[in-house]
Structures are given as C-alpha cells and as structure tokens.
Structure 1
C-alpha cells in the first residue's frame, strides 16, 4: 500500500511538472518552440510532445488554428521518426478530423497524405491506395493542383510496389510535365518547382532501372543535374547523387557508386535511424559486389544492430536480409547465412503476401535449394549431378502441370470471352443500369400484393427508387428491416411489393443492384479497377470477396477478375 501511494505521488509530481513546463514553454515564440521540436523529433518523443503541447497551448491562447494543427502534426511526425507507426497513424487521423472540423483545407489534405503513407505499415497496400484515392478526390474538390500531383505520385508508388512499373512511369511522366510547365505563383516558388522535378525524375530513373532500361534512367538523372544546389530546396540535390549511384552500381562501376553514395549522404546528413540503415545497406551491397565479404557482413550487421527492426517493418527488409545472408555465406559463416536467409524468405513472404499454393511451392523450392547449397559447402560433397537431376525432374513435373493448366485455361478463356461479349452487348443495349442484370426468382414467398393498399404500394415503390438513387444498397447494413424502416413500412408489405413488382425476392433485388453497379463502375472507373477484389466487394456492400465473387459469377457467368482484365484490354 505504501509503495502504491508513493507511485501515485511520483506520477502526480511528473504530471504537474510537465504541465508547468509546457505552460512556461508556451510563452516563448513559435520559432523557439519549433527549434526544440526539430531538435528532439528523431531522438526523444517525450520532449518533442512536451514542446508540441506548448506550441498547441500558445496557439489556443492566440486563437491560431493553423499553428494549433502544426503542433498536433509535430506529434504525429515525431511518432513516425521514432517508428511508433500505430501511434503516428492514430494521431494523424485526429489531426485530419481537427482540420475538417475547422475547415482547414490544406491541413486536411496534408493530414490525409501523411495518414495514407502510414497505411502501408499499419494496414495494407489496398487500404493505402484507398486513402490515396480519397486524397485525389479531396484535391479535386478543393481544386488543389499541388495535392492532386502528390496523390498521383503516391498512387504511382503503390503501382511500383505492385509490380506495375510501366503504369507508374506513365503517371509520373504526366506529373513531371505538369511541373515543367508550371509557372511561379503564391503556392509554387521556382525552387519548389525545381525540387519537385528533381524528385519525380529520381523516381522515374529508378523505375527505368527496374525495367533494365539504363539509358532512359540516365536521361532523368540529367534532368536533375541541370540544377545547381542553389536552384533546389534543402537536400534535394541528394536525388542526383542517389540516382547516379544506382546507375553506377547497375553498370558494375562499384568504386564510383560508393563515392556517389557517400556524396548522397553528405549533402543532407541526418540522425534519422532509417537513413542510417539505408546507408549501411547501400555501402554493404557495394562491398559485397566487390567481393569484400567480411567487410560487407560487418557493415550490414552493424546497421541492423543499431536500427533494431520492429515487427511491422520485417516485410520491408527482404533485400537487406538477402545481401546479409549472401555475405555470411561467402565468408563461410553458414549458420548466420542460414539465419538471415530464413529472415529474407519470411520478409519476402510478408511483402508479396503469397496466397497461391504454387507460389508457396516455389518458395519452398528456393529454400530447399539454398539449404542444399549450404549443406554441400559444409560437407564438401559434390552432389551437383544429383541436384541437377532433381531440378530437371522438378522442371519436367512443372512443365507437365503447366501444360495441363494451360489446356484448361484456354478452354475456359474461350468460353469466358464469349460470356464477356454477351455481357458487353447487354450493357450497350441497356437503357438503365437495372436492365443489365434482372434476375427473376421462380420460388417467391409472396407473389400477390393485392392485400397491400394501392397508396402504400406506390409509397414503397417510390421509397425504393429514392434509396436506389442514394445508393443505399451499397451499404453492408442494407437489410429488409432497415429498408422497410427507412421507407416507413413493414417487412411484410415490402417483401410482397418487391415480389410482385420485380418478380424477385428482397435479396435478389439487392444483389442485382449491387452487381449492376459493380459492372458499370468497373467499366468506367480506371482507379476502381485497380482495387483488390476484397476492396471492391466492401465498396459494393459485401462483407467478403467470396460473397461478391459468388453473386457476380452467378449473374454474369464470369469471375470479377476476368471481367476487370478484359475491360482493361478494351479501355
């Protein structure tokens, strides 16, 4: 009991002194408080929050809503700098609601942009893409070209992650064209325009390297090099060195790449631990490529030890673990090599979210191949011929399976293409969306609605049309009870009217509306087509991808994924 009371006194003492500290601190200038925020943002969350709260307190005293948001945002940024991603996401959401409540449009878009970036860590790529699309829509609503371009470039980053590099390139080229033709105004200084050109050119250079088009990558490096350091905002010159270094590394000019990487980090030094581990990775991979295996493993291991990877970051460490595993393998430290190769595989599995059993089988083959290689090095037994035979047998089996799958695939594809053409014809012929899919049920609960008064029947039909216009059927809460409640009737009358008027039961009526909506939106909305099937399902009112796929195929004869692919081919 004595200990408990003492603990409470300590907590109260800390709270009081912190409050006083914030109160006294809040009488300084905004610039002075901001200096403290920047000083501790990467290293001390508690001090940063104390300074940020003082900033907020000063803003509230002065009725300065924009600076109050700045203080709130400083907390989210510090959480991020210290890799407290969940806390950063929660704080960013609060910041966005604060901006919405006080009609701070630019701050609302900034909060949403920050919140969107965090979804890759705290949620998934699909959710992240949805947030980016929200940002794009908000930018269009507020007529903000700046945030529209931010949204486009962030969507391009998601496309890069998904492997659709060419589409990402096309988006970035349009964005680059926008900034190259942008005139200076109150939003954009010449420096900020140049900096955006440098940043987008850097990403384009990387994308072309991903496609192994080195000459194209060099063209975009030249775009960055046209600027001097005074033409760009702080640190943006680093993009030039980073892009040149990647090209030099690709062309195996390792000494030059190393010098350029050092320049890259010297131009904009930082204590941010994420930058430090990136530096360790880049220098470590060059030492590995040059055959300096011991030095490479030391650099990579120290970078990893200093960083302390969190569980949510494991999915982003694939390349790092692969290089470290290879460095240890070449030094003969097979135990460490195996350990990091396993971490590489786990990271790879998380990153790509493998769902397909065939891909998992290939992953296991890769793991087995590595184990065989390590075991052969340890035991110094040369089993190359038997290993080759094993690979040939595996390849033969894979080829046989592929042939069988291909035969079935082409047969199904032909049938599906015919169904797709029929569906397109229905879409073209339909005057209204509800004419595309119009299912009739043979077994109806209530075929006759004569006992429903005519005025009530008309009221129900008018209410249904109104809810259709409001797209209430897209909500997962859409049930006969809720629909009846919204219209102002009972479920019995509602069921009878739908049965007799539409020739279908309530569930069929709602499913037809949802599938017709999905068919048309997938045909007309490019971004909607990039959603995962789960996200599309939730968007149109289903709780699971399986339910959506079941009803979509029942009504059209096609899987949603096939329909989306074919629509893309004709779009």
Structure 2
C-alpha cells in the first residue's frame, strides 16, 4: 500500500514539474537554434548526426526539425533531398523512443518530399521505416506493402538495405502466416550479397530456424537454434539476440512435449534477461514457465509463477507509466523548440518577402490612387445626376399634390346616375376630407360602412372613377398624407419616418418605404431631405 502511494506521489511530482517548467516561447534549445539557423541544411544535418553519436538525441532531433522547417514550394532537388532525409532521421528518433505516431508522421512527410524529388535518394529507406512503424501497430499487411515498395526500388549496390528489407519481409510474412512468401524471402536471405557481420550471419541462420519451426520441424529447428546460441555467445552479440534464440528453443520443446529441455532453456532465457535488465522478456518467460510446470504436473509451482507473472506485469505497467510521465518534459521541450523553429523560419520568410513587397508597394499605391480618383469622379457624377432626378420627382409630387387640392375645390361630375354620383362624393368625403383611412385596419368594408353602402358598389365606383382598385387608392391617399406630414414643420416635425408611416396606417416600416418609393419614386428620407432644403431656401429668401 505504501509503495503504491509512493509511486503515485512520484508521478504527481514529475507531472507537476513537467507542466510548471517555463511556459514562454523560448525553449532550452534557443541558443543552439539561433547558433545554427544560418547554416546550410547539409551542415545542420551533419551537426544532428554528431549529436546523435554523442547520444544527445533531443538536440539531434532539434537539428533535424530545423531542416524540416525549411520545406517550401520552391525547393531545389538538393533541398528536397535534405528535407526528406531530415524527416526520416527525426522519425527514427521518435521511433526509438516508442513514439510511433510522430515517427509515422515524419516518415510520411519525408516520403512525399522524396517522391517529389528527381533523385529519390532516400525513398527505399523511408518505405522500410514506414513498414516498421505499421508493424509496431500490428498492421502487418500495410507493413508488407511498404517493405515491398522499398525492396522494388533499392539503389543498385546497396547490400545493407537489401538485406534489411529481405529480413523484414521474411519476418512480416511469418506474422501474416504466409509460409509460401516466407520461404521465398528466406531463400533470398540465404543467397543475397550482404555485409559480412556477425549480426547479419545471425539473421541468416535465425530466419532458417524460424521457417523450420513454422513448418513444425521442431527438432531440426532446435538443432539449428542451439548451435546459433553458442555462436552468438562466442561472437558477444547483444543479449536480445541470445534471448530470442532461447525463447524459440524452449517454445519448440514445448510443442514437442519435452518439458525437461523446455525447462532448461527457459531458465537460461530468464537468467540472460534478468542479468541484462531486459525486463520486457521476463513476464513472457514467467507465463511460459507456469505453463511448463502445469504440463509437468507441478500445479502449486505453476501457481507461484502465475502470481509472479501478475505481480511483475503490475510493476512493469507502473514503470511504463513512470517513464511516460518522465518523458513528458522531453516532448514538451521538443514541441517548444519546434514552435520556435517555425516562428524563426516565418520571420526569415517575412524578411525575404518584404523586399519584394516594398518594390511593388509604390506601383500598387499609384494604381490605387488613380483607380480611387476615377471611382470618386464617377460616384460624384452619379450622385449629382441622382440628386437632379430626385429633385424632379420631388417637384412633380408637390405639383401633383397642388393639382389635387385644386381639383377638390372645382370638381364637378359629368355622371348622370345620381346614386353613383352620391356614392362617389361620399367616398371622396371620407378619403379626402377625413383621416379614417389612416387607421391600420381600414378596409373597403370599413369605407362602405362609413358611407352606408356595400363593398361591391364601393369597389365598382372606385374602379370606374379612379381606374384602380381600393388598395391602390388607399395606398395613394396614405402616401399623399405622409408627404403632407413630412412637409409639415409644426405638428409632425419631430416624428421619425417610422412614426409617420405608422400615423398613416402602415404597421411595417419596410412596407411604408416600399409604397412611398412606388408612389413618389423617392424614399421617405430623400423626400424629407428635399423638404428641409426648400425650407432653408425659403428662410434665406425671407
């Protein structure tokens, strides 16, 4: 319980310090970035390789990211090649740290750049690395696809890359359970020219043993593997090679039902893994040890190993969580460095473009001044013409209003039918002598009721005499009344246009403006402007 609390507190402290580190845009790599940002991409890449050899992976990654940031649409073939290589090397660092998503992103960016270059110098290697990333996600079909693409375009004479891709193709075929293709690539591994190293010789023999095991020839496979274990120890190969051999030996003995030999080699595997701190091998061997003990009839011992397996898995899980938190600071600093590189690159691009921008600015300014002058001349002329047109419309409306008033005083009727004449006079009395039609709900029915007639007769007389419908007559009367009120400088002087529209019966300002323009050719605001101008002229004359 106390151990669990201690681990939790340690994780919290590490998280706190990773989040509370300086949050400014300046990273701890700022000095390094500013020192090398003027260098050529080739020189920066070389610096990254040097840092990588010194095991300063974080600084090496910053160097590679600096070259990646120089990607643009106008690169030479050499620049494309450098940027694709930088992306591949940055991806390799992420891959080695277990960050397969970021690794894949860099690989895919490098792939696009390499494919767009003429030389396509690193394309085969990038295909191989993308295949590795997909295999880590257990997408063996995708991994196989990219390995084949890489193998198809390997530069002539590149024995090392050829050998690596053949080994990867063989391994992924075993994972896909495709023994036919696995045999094909195994044969190519045996016959392909390759650099003479102990590691390469290990892969040749190991692949042969694995294929033999997959074909269920376990005894024959173990004979090869036991010899391979001895030669690997003699050649002082890394412990992971030896553990891999022991793991397959005891697995084959388990398949053969030989638990005694299986027990012997699983112990050798466990001892080698523990001695070399390869903790990821131990849980698997504990689980397999429990299975061997069960098959041997040692149930209680098997249960002990099962318990050890579960405890160790819990410990490894916590250790992995610890490493994730511990690695947050690295990711955080790298991200800050990447942002700083992007910002500095943008500044350089800005300075580069500003020179050309200033050259164009003067010419653009002259063109803009000319265009604005022409536009202003045109607008002023149009405005002047519009003012003249509006003035004519306004004068015509005032003239029409005066004629209407004159007709009111001198109107005589030639109608012979006394009833129609009387009805017409009643209509005129209401529509011209009262403000009843200014009521918002005023209709032909309202008018008929006021004059003691019916809607049909009223509509007929209006149509015969005015040549228009009741609605048209109503809108004409209302707009004329609105013109009068817009002209009135006493009672209605302080009303807004909306209020005047409502005073003559319009609920909606939009409808009022639409009908006003239809009847007068002007908007109420323009009409009101001319009224004000006329008043000013009258006062000036006085």
Give me the TM-score of the superposition, normalised by structure 2: 0.42
Structure whose CA Rg is larger: 2
Give me the TM-score of the superposition, normalised by structure 1: 0.40
Question: Of the two structures, which has the highest relative contact order with CA contacts closer than 8 Å and spacing of 6 or more?
Answer: 2
